[in-house]
């Protein structure tokens, strides 16, 4: 079993709770998720992406191999200059203005998740930073693939558009690179610490879904 797979297996119950069985995800899949909950999610996800870019920037500064630095640099460019622009466009298409996107308050749950990732990035080396980002990248990849196969939503609905966004070849390539990188670091890290970081990030993933589901 690869190192990434072992991290997932060690936390499988929590993984399923966050990325498989959560009612928010099930609501996207069958088209029953209310727009207000989706709107809350989109605004908070935008806030998250801003801080996510800061985490990637720290990862770049801690990369000593130019190929690894190149990957993180491409991810930063993709997130900052493509994904966030698409995020804004997506929101406008469904009536969420730029002003609302920019000026809405960041929830405590979003702040806590971002603070965790940033503090981990500043405290640890690049190998551990990768473990902290893996639950989000890999989780969304799996959700996108799975929901695309079982998509019961109306074409051009916000549910369907979201599924299409994460069932994306380029996104999947990033996931594969990150999984392979985490597999390569098993002998370089304290496996218990890596698992703890993976688990804590996964907890925050669950709480992020919970926040939007409960509009908090």
Which residues carry out catalysis? 136, 205
Rg for the chain, CA atoms, rounded: 17
- CB crowding 157-192: b at 16 or more within 10 Å, else e: bbbbebbeebbeeebeebbeebbebbeebeeebeee
What is the C-alpha to C-alpha distance for residues 39 and 94, in angstroms, rounded to an integer? 9
**Helix crossing, 191-213 with 3-10: angle to 10°?**
60
Distance of CA 89 to the CA centre of its chain: 19
Return the half-sphere exposure (C-beta side, CA atoms, 13 A cut-off) of residue 15. 20
Residue 39, classed as helix, strand or coil, is helix
* Rounded-to-10 torsion of CA 54, 165, 201, 62: -40
* Integer CA distances (angstroms), 183 to 102, 106, 135, 152, 216, in order: 37, 34, 14, 35, 36
Residue carrying structure tokens 């804004």: 88
């Amino acid at each position: 079993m690869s190192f990434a797979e072992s991290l997932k297996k060690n936390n499988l119950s929590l993984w399923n709770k966050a990325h498989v069985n959560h009612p928010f995800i099930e609501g996207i899949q069958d088209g029953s998720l209310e727009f207000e909950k989706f709107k809350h999610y989109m605004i908070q996800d935008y806030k998250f992406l801003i801080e996510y870019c800061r985490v990637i920037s720290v990862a770049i500064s801690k990369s000593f191999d130019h190929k690894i630095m190149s990957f993180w640099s491409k991810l930063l460019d993709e997130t900052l200059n493509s994904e966030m622009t698409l995020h804004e466009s997506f929101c406008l298409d469904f009536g969420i203005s730029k002003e609302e996107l920019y000026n809405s308050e960041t929830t405590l749950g979003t702040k806590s998740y971002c603070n965790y990732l940033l503090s981990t990035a500043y405290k640890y080396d690049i190998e551990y930073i990768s473990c902290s980002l893996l639950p989000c990248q890999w989780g969304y990849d799996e959700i996108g693939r799975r929901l695309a196969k079982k998509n019961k939503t109306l074409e051009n609905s916000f549910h369907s558009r979201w599924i299409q966004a994460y069932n994306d070849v380029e996104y999947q390539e990033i996931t594969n690179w990150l999984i392979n990188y985490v597999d390569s670091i098993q002998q370089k890290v304290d496996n218990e610490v890596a698992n703890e970081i993976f688990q804590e990030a996964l907890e925050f993933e669950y709480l992020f879904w919970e926040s939007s589901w409960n509009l908090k």
